[in-house]
């Protein structure tokens, strides 16, 4: 499997960027009052991208033999992924006011950006790693 490491990593990164990008666009569409944000095809594309990035992530973890709850940076990524999903789901709930939804959406994007920095630095503190050291 290690033979495909670079390809899988590329798929993972592209899928992660696509997932974040789609979330960003859905948020903008939502606040612009477009129905597109919640349309079925857009949601299905989102699920498909997320499944691909999750599969690639599991493959990478197995190839490099670094796993959540064994390696801190992956533990942080996994836990924050849960936070990101929870904020994202909450942001698209219709019951809430627009300002609350915007807050949740910004929060989700902030978490996403931090997860990205953890991934880049391979350190649980991500972008703040330099500050601490």
Partner 1 sequence: MTSTRKLWFLLAALLLASFAVLLWSGNQIYQKAPPMPERVVSENGDVVYTRDDIETGRQVWQSMGGMQLGSIWGHGGYVAPDWSADWLHREVMAILNNWANRDYNAERFAALDAEQQSALQGRLVAMIRENTYNPETGVITVDEDRADAIAAVSEHYQSLFGNDPETADLREAYAMKNGTVPDPEHRRLLSAFFWWTAWSAVTERPGSDITYTNNWPSEELVDNQPPPSTFLWSAFSVTFLLAGIGLLGWHYAVNHDKEEAPHRYPGSDPMGQVVVTPSMLATAKYFWVLLALFLVQILFGAITAHYQVEGQLVYGYEMAEYLPYSITRTWHTQLAVLWIAVAWLGTGLYIGPAVSGYEPPYQRLGVNVLWVCLLVIVVGSFTGQWLAVMQSLGLDNNFWFGHQGWEYADIGRFWQWFLFIGLILWLFLVGRALWPTLRSASESRSIVGLLFLSTVAIGLFFGASLMWGENTHLSMVEYWRWWLVHLWVEGFFEVFATAVIAFLFTRLGLLEIKTATVAVLFATIIFMAGGVLGTLHHLYFSGTPTPVLALGASFSALEVVPLAYIGFEAYHHYRMSIATPWMQRYKWPVMFFIAVAFWNLVGAGLFGFLINPPLSLYYMQGLNLTPLHGHTALFGVYGMLGIGLVLFCLRGMKPHLAWHEGLLKTSFWMLNIGLALMALLTLLPLGTLQLFASLDQGYWYARSAEFMQQPIVDLLVWLRVPGDTIFAIGALIFAWFVIRLWVFPTPEGAVPDRDTAEADRHRETSPATGR
User: What is the rounded distance in angstroms from the CA atom of residue 12 to the CA atom of residue 118?
Assistant: 15
Q: Does 14 bind partner 1 (CB under 8 A)?
A: no
- Per-residue binding string, partner 1, 15-54, x by CB under 8 A, is ------------------------------------xx-x
User: What is the rounded distance in angstroms from the CA atom of residue 39 to the CA atom of residue 29?
Assistant: 11
- Residue whose CB is less far from partner 1, 65 or 133: 65
Report the site for partner 1 in 59-78 (rule: CB under 8 A): 59, 61-62, 65-68, 70
End-to-end CA distance of the chain: 35
User: What is the rounded distance in angstroms from the CA atom of residue 80 to the CA atom of residue 85?
Assistant: 8
Footprint of partner 1 (CB under 8 A): 1-4, 51-52, 54-55, 58-59, 61-62, 65-68, 70
């Amino acid at each position: 499997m290690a033979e495909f490491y670079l390809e899988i990593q590329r798929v993972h990164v592209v899928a992660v960027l696509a997932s974040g990008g789609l979330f960003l666009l859905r948020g903008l569409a939502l606040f612009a009052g477009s129905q597109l944000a919640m349309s079925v095809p857009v949601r299905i594309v989102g699920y498909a991208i997320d499944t691909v990035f999750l599969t690639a992530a599991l493959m990478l973890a197995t190839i490099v033999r670094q796993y959540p709850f064994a390696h801190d940076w992956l533990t942080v990524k996994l836990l924050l992924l849960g936070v990101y999903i929870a904020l994202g789901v909450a942001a698209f709930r219709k019951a809430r006011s627009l300002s609350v939804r915007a807050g949740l959406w910004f929060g989700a994007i902030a978490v996403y950006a931090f997860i990205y920095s953890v991934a880049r630095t391979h350190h649980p503190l991500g972008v703040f790693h330099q500050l601490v050291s």
